[in-house]
């Protein structure tokens, strides 16, 4: 499943889009890591999940498909979390 996702950017009939850190061209890494730090302190989620959530927020994305079994994403308000095993196609 992971190989197909990486190679085709598709999960069966669902197309997956990979986005930039921010569509705002003057958004730099100093600002990005500041937002990551603030989100870690606020939501107490894992670093990886917070990084993804900041990128999502920057791009107006509210839904995430994750293989992660932990609930870190669910601690971040405004996100809808999906796991592939719960998707019925």
Q: What angle do CA 1, 17, 31 make, to 5 degrees?
A: 120
SS3 35: helix
Banded model confidence at residue 73, pLDDT cuts 50, 70, 90? confident
pTM score of the predicted model: 0.75
> Per the structure, how many domains does the chain have?
1
The 10s digit of each residue's pLDDT in 12-35 is 787 888 889 999 999 999 999 999
Banded model confidence at residue 89, pLDDT cuts 50, 70, 90? low
Bridge pairing between strands 14-15 and 10-11: antiparallel
Structure tokens of 84?
């592939």
The 10s digit of each residue's pLDDT in 43-60 is 988 898 999 999 999 999
Its domain, for residue 73, covers 2-86
pLDDT at 74: 79
Distance between CA atoms of 86 and 83, rounded to whole angstroms?
A: 6
């Amino acid at each position: 499943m992971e190989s197909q996702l990486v190679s085709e950017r598709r999960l069966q009939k669902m197309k997956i889009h990979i986005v930039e850190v921010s569509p705002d061209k003057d958004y730099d890494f100093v600002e990005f890591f500041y937002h990551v730090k603030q989100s870690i302190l606020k939501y107490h989620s894992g670093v990886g999940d917070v990084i993804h959530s900041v990128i999502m927020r920057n791009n107006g994305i509210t839904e995430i498909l994750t293989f992660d079994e932990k609930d870190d994403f669910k601690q971040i308000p405004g996100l809808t979390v999906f796991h592939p095993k719960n998707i019925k196609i």
